[in-house]
Amino acid sequence: MAGVKLLGFWASPYANRVQIALNLKSISYEYIEQNLRSKSQLLLESNPVHKKVPVLIHGDNPVSESLVILEYIDEVWTQGPSILPSDPHDRAVARFWAAYITDKWYPLISEYRLAEGAEAKAAVKEKILEGVVLLEEAFVTCSQGKGYFGGENIGYIDLVLGSLLGWLRARGETQGITFLDKTKGPELSAWADRFSSHSAVTGVLPTSEKVIEFIKSFTRPN
């Protein structure tokens, strides 16, 4: 089997989800940390369109965009737990919720941070909590009483949402809000703890303290 490299950045949830997927599949890979302020020639050559991480390099073939990479990993390495469900409808459902999290729900976190005034923040917070209720319902349906969106094992939705937990916790601490509110999503809150302590995840997700320090570094004078 050709060698595997992953171009990533420790604070990128999109790179983190690929790391976790590789760990789940027990795939040996070389992780190459990138300096996004001074991008390497390897990164620029491997992802000339977007010029960003993550990039999976399998042999001589680069694959870009985290969701595309997750599906590639699942198709190439069939050993270990499946990332996407085998049933076509279940796969469609997983892709739907991944798109909802990526395109609709997670952007609200930044919208809340940027909202000016108590009324504006309250309105965005309400949207966030409405999303938590929807994700709670999705978890109950998809998990079928088991530990993860993917059932017995971490799957596609778990990777998409779970990779955001470090940033959700950090933003929550700095903004005084719990984004995965236990009263709105008790099962989801328990899932977040379960996901974070999984052996494929530990050591990959950045701590909230480290993310907060990273955020502060942008505001420091040079």
Pick the CATH number of 88-212 from 3.40.50.720, 3.40.50.1370, 1.20.1050.10, 3.40.50.880: 1.20.1050.10
Q: Where are the CATH 3.40.30.10 domain residues in the chain?
A: 4-76
Q: Give, for all 222 residues of the chain, the pLDDT tens digit.
A: 579 999 999 999 999 999 999 999 999 999 999 999 999 999 999 999 999 999 999 999 999 999 999 999 999 999 999 999 999 999 999 999 999 999 999 999 999 999 999 999 999 999 999 999 999 999 999 999 999 999 999 999 999 999 999 999 999 999 999 999 899 999 999 999 999 999 999 999 999 999 999 998 876 554
Strand partners, 6: 31, 56
Q: Phi and psi of 56, rounded to 5°?
A: -95, 130
The model scores a pTM over 0.75: yes
Q: Where are the CATH 1.20.1050.10 domain residues in the chain?
A: 88-212
Instruction: Tell me yes or no: is domain 4-76 CATH 3.40.50.1980.
Output: no
Q: What is the DSSP letter of 206?
A: P
